[in-house]
Amino acid sequence: MMFRFSRIICLPLFLTLCLCASARLVTQPIDLSAAANRPLSEAQDGRIAKALGDMSALPTGLARLGNVDFNILADADTGGKSCIVLENKNDLQLAKAAQLDFETAMEGEVLYLLHAAARKGSRNIQVGGNVHITFSDGSKQSNKLHLGRDMQPRDAGRSAYNAARCWSDPNADMQVSLFISKIPLQKKEVKSINFTAGDTLWLVAAASLGPDIHLAPLSTEYIIQGNYSGPPRFSAEELAGVGSSGIPKNIVFIIGDGMGLGSLTMASLHAHGKPYSLAMQSLPVSGLCTTHSGSSPVTDSAASGTALSSGYKTYNGAIGMDLARVPRKTIAEQAKAAGKAVGLMSNDALTGATPSAFVAHVPSRSMAVEIADWYQKNAFDLFIANSNARPFLPESEKGLRKDGKNLLKELSDAGYRGVSSIDEFRQVMPANPVYGFMDWHTVELLGEMTALALPYLEARSPKGFFIMIECAWPDHGGHANNPDISARGVLGTDYVVRAAVEYAMKNKDTLVLVTADHETGLLFAADNQRNKKKPYVIYQTTGHSETPVPIFAFGPGSENFHGLFDNIDIPARLAELWELELGVIIEQ
């Protein structure tokens, strides 16, 4: 009896001791308070949020991520100084260095960093940051942290050689991640750590010292977590009333950024339980489009946007210029010159690569301020995008402009109405051109805005209209290897298609053309018989791929878009329909 009683008492005690042991800190978290300079939440600062994303969902206090213990500071406790953000270029007026001095020296075989870089946008970005260690005996150690090896961009969906992806969270239309890197140390006490900026924006969320342990990165299973709906398909009877021949009065050019055949299959399986059930897939004309740029088999959005807008191949990064950096007029500019109303709408930034390629002419997509100038020069009837208005505002108003200009005020003085919501857009009269900076919270919103934008443009000119509408989310989902964002992106694009085709069926004079600028993620999807809402998904890259992308068309002129094309063929055929001269050189 005593033996049995002892077993009853000892077993819970043994389990308790095991739990206590497992709760002990494996590493020593480092307090970043003395060096922290930015909040984890960047909801009020679009500059940093655009580059690094909002990290407010990161667990604060003591947290074990990837087997490493960290002390993550909370904005509410620090007055908004919870992490270190550094940059070298002064574009965002951030610190170039941060210093941590320890009153009592710390020991550890390895320094662990929980960090991320801004999205990689240039081949010149190699070193993300530098760490300089000073030991108690006065000796020093310096380490360069290379992007793609020791750290990853915040939207990367995979670990790197020395950067284990250990935390990730869906943030609106992007997936943000943090990575743990190991920096082996000399067997000495650490007196101070100095962080210095590299070639890109660098965020350090936490740090820790300890033994060399095995890191446990996040699982790479790709499973849709949400439940998203899509618009219904069109029936053949619905579409039969509008022919595919003739000359359209209006053109609606819809671009699903990064939207490939795999993402269409995934979104259709999730929303409708079977493939080929999207509204765009029910259109009577379809084809495929190749997307290589003039400098690479794999394009970026700038080069592909330029090809789709001007009919010219160019190098990756170029906006509205050919390979020789000669500026070429776009179909949007030529439509405006022909007296048609012109609109651009995107849930990315107005200075993002795709909308920029229809309005601007600059050698680099990173020239956001110069791109903003082109919106004022071209004076299109409508341009609405996400809430990033900083390239249009002076530094004195938290903008990026060093010339002191407030382009939004100048546009308003010229008669433009500014909007920040769909309700405000409903109040705009066609007599006023409109610009807008909005938050795009729902999958359906871009389609709802499309339903308002088309009759608005129709009323702006008796000669018809041209509008390019971009949904950027398929690209964001592909880069992040996040099937939720990929699905939302395709379904968001499909709501745009539904709204545009409903308008075209009613008016019978509108060509609706749907394609992508490139594919992102090299996504494959297949039916899951056990759970129709969660198709099997595999991503094979976090970058773009060279696979052909779909084309769908409806309305007069759509007969020209059957088959296989290169992307430069699309604007050429649109220009031919309207008898516009495409690719005219712009005299500087």
CATH topology (fold) of 246-578:
Alkaline Phosphatase, subunit A (3.40.720)
Contact residues for 459 (Cβ-Cβ < 8 A; gap 6+): 430
- In this prediction, residue 10 carries a pLDDT of 43
Contact residues for 215 (Cβ-Cβ < 8 A; gap 6+): 66, 67, 68, 164, 166, 180, 182
DSSP 423-439: HHHHT--TTS-EEEEE-
Grade residue 224 by pLDDT with cuts at 50, 70 and 90. very high
Q: What are the pLDDT digits (tens) for 188-199?
A: 999 999 999 998
Q: Domain limits of the chain?
A: 26-210, 246-578
- The mean pLDDT of the chain is 92
Counting Cβ atoms within 10 Å, is residue 56 exposed (0-12), middle (13-18) or buried (19+)? middle
Grade residue 519 by pLDDT with cuts at 50, 70 and 90. very high
Q: What are the pLDDT digits (tens) for 500-517?
A: 999 999 999 999 999 999
Q: Is this prediction's pTM over 0.85?
A: no
Q: What are the pLDDT digits (tens) for 553-568?
A: 999 999 999 999 999 9
Calculate mean pLDDT across residues 153-170.
88
Class of domain 26-210: mainly beta
- In this prediction, residue 23 carries a pLDDT of 56
Q: Which of 104, 298, 95 is nearest to 191 (CA)?
A: 104
Grade residue 5 by pLDDT with cuts at 50, 70 and 90. very low
Calculate mean pLDDT across residues 277-304.
97
Which DSSP letter does residue 224 get? -
H or E element in which residue 122 lies: none
- Residue 587 vs residue 64, higher pLDDT: 64
Structural contact between residues 297 and 542, judged by C-beta atoms closer than 8 angstroms: no
Grade residue 9 by pLDDT with cuts at 50, 70 and 90. very low
Q: How far is CA 296 from CA 293, 315, 346, 539, in A?
A: 5, 7, 26, 21
| Residue 315 tokens, joined | 């190098």
Grade residue 154 by pLDDT with cuts at 50, 70 and 90. confident
Number of neighbours of residue 183 by Cβ within 10 angstroms: 19
- In this prediction, residue 19 carries a pLDDT of 38
Rounded Cα–Cα distance for residues 145 and 126 (Å): 9
**Residue 13 scores a pLDDT above 50:** no
| Residue 219 tokens, joined | 């699982």
Number of H helices, E strands in the chain: 15, 26
Return the percent helix, strand and coil in the chain, to nearest 5: 30, 30, 45
Rounded Cα–Cα distance for residues 480 and 168 (Å): 10
Calculate mean pLDDT across residues 326-332.
98
Q: What are the pLDDT digits (tens) for 442-465?
A: 999 999 999 999 999 999 999 999
**Residue 92 scores a pLDDT above 90:** no
